[in-house]
A and B are shown apart, each in its own frame.
Chain A
Amino acid sequence: MSNSVVFYGLAGIAVLSAALMVTRRRAMQSAACLAVTLLATAGIFLQLQSRILFGMQILLFAGAIVALFVTVMKRLHLDGMPQGKQFVRRIGTLMLIVVVLGGETALMIWSVRKRPVARLLAFGSSAAAKIAPDARAVMRSLFGSYLLAFEIAVVLLVVAVVGAVVMTKQKAGRGDALD
Chain B
Amino acid sequence: MLSIEHYFFLSFALFLLGVTGVVMRRNALVVLMSVELILNAVNINLAACSRWFGDASGQAVAILLVVVAIAEAVVGLAIIAAVFRGRDAKSGDEKELLSW
Contact of B64 with A150 in the complex, beta carbons under 8 Å: yes
Query: What mask results when residues 142 to 179 of chain A are scored 1 for a CB within 8 Å of chain B, else 0?
Result: 10011001100110110111011101100000101110
In the complex, how many angstroms separate the beta carbon of A34 from the nearest chain B beta carbon?
Answer: 5
Contact of A61 among B26, B69, B78 (CB under 8 A): B69
**Interface of chain B: mostly helix, strand, loop or mixed:** helix
Docked complex Cα distance between A85 and B36 (Å):
23
* B-side contacts of A69, CB under 8 Å: 29, 32-33, 73, 77
| In the assembled complex, A77 has its CB within 8 A of some CB on chain B | yes
Q: Which single residue of chain B is at the shortest CB-CB distance from A1?
A: B1
Docked complex Cα distance between A164 and B16 (Å):
29
| Interface size counted on chain A using CB atoms at 8 A | 94
In the complex, how many angstroms separate the beta carbon of B96 from the nearest chain A beta carbon?
Answer: 10
Contact of B77 with A68 in the complex, beta carbons under 8 Å: yes
Contact of B70 with A94 in the complex, beta carbons under 8 Å: no
Interface residues of B (CB under 8 A from A): 1-10, 12-21, 23-27, 29-30, 32-34, 36-37, 40, 43-44, 47-48, 50-57, 59-64, 66-75, 77-82, 84-86, 88-90, 92, 94-95, 98-99
List 22 interface pairs A-B (beta carbons < 8 Å), by A numbering: A7-B6, A15-B17, A18-B14, A34-B33, A48-B47, A50-B50, A53-B59, A57-B43, A65-B36, A82-B94, A88-B25, A90-B23, A94-B19, A123-B1, A133-B59, A138-B63, A150-B64, A154-B67, A156-B68, A164-B77, A168-B78, A178-B85
